[in-house]
Amino acid sequence: MRSKLPVLFPKRRYVVFRLDSEEEIGSRDLQREIHFAQASLFGDLGAARNRLKLIYHEGPFGMLRCRHDGVQQTRAALASVYAVGGVRTAIHIRGISGTIKSAREKYIPQLSRTDAEDGGRRIELEEVSGCIVHIHGRKIDLCPDDPKRSRGSDTRYLGLTSFDLSGGHDDADGTSDGL
């Protein structure tokens, strides 16, 4: 015998998000932080009503389940996350769907790992110098030689792009991305 008729199940929404963080984030830390952010903002009662649950997390992508009328609440809770496990993090929502299947197909890329690579190379400019930590496409994370450069913004790395490094001339491979 069914314990509950299907029409009595609460409608759900699946929220796909992308993490932007300075280090790798563990699923357990992420789940704890999201629940804490929601409970801090809406109280225990509001958090219990929304039934938020992390159902998938791999690399920078993840998926949450919430009630269909709690999407705005979930957006606000995710936007209020400042750091996860002491690592500065921002959670950006990629999309919302009614089923897990469509959420995966629409918003989670098949290759979950991006073209990230550890650099180890240095940048020496007049204003900024340091070691390249991560490269994601045109985006470059730089560990500055002078730690005071990122003071006030509470981040460990400086964010640059290949546009900042191009000196107006082409490199040997024909590109002018400055790397």
Partner 1 sequence: MSYYLWGAKALPEGSDSASRQALTARDLGYKGIIICNCEPSRIFKADAARQIKGFDVEFGAEIEASNARALHSRISAWRPTYPILSVEASSDEIIHAACESPHVDALILCIDSRLSIAAARAAGESQVAIGFDLSPFFRLRASSRARWLEAFGRNLELARKFGLSMILTCMARSRLDLRGPKEILAMAEVAGFEPAEAEEAMLLPERIVQENRRHWLAPGVELL
Q: Establish if 177 lies at the interface with partner 1 (CB under 8 A).
A: no
Interface residue with partner 1 among 90, 100, 131, 143 (CB under 8 A) is 90
What is the CB neighbour count within 10 angstroms for residue 56?
Answer: 16
d(CA 9, CA 50): 14
Tell me if 41 sits within 8 A of 77, measured CB to CB: yes
Task: Locate 77 and state its tokens.
Answer: 């809770």
Any idea what DSSP says for residue 11?
P
CB of 173 to partner 1, least distance (A): 19
User: Which residue among 59, 85, 119, 159 contacts partner 1 (CB under 8 A)?
Assistant: 159
DSSP 3-state of 158 = strand
Shortest Å distance, C-beta 3 to partner 1: 34
Q: Which residues pair with 143 in a beta bridge?
A: 131
Which listed residue (78, 84, 103, 135) binds partner 1 by CB under 8 A?
A: 78
Do the beta carbons of residue 109 and residue 99 sit within 8 Å? Answer: no
138: contact with partner 1 by CB under 8 A: yes
Kindly tell me which residue out of 44, 118, 154, 173 binds partner 1, with binding defined by CB under 8 A: 154
Q: Which residues bind partner 1 (CB under 8 A)?
A: 20-22, 40-41, 72-73, 75-76, 78-82, 88-90, 92-93, 127-128, 138-140, 149-150, 152-155, 157-161, 163-164, 166
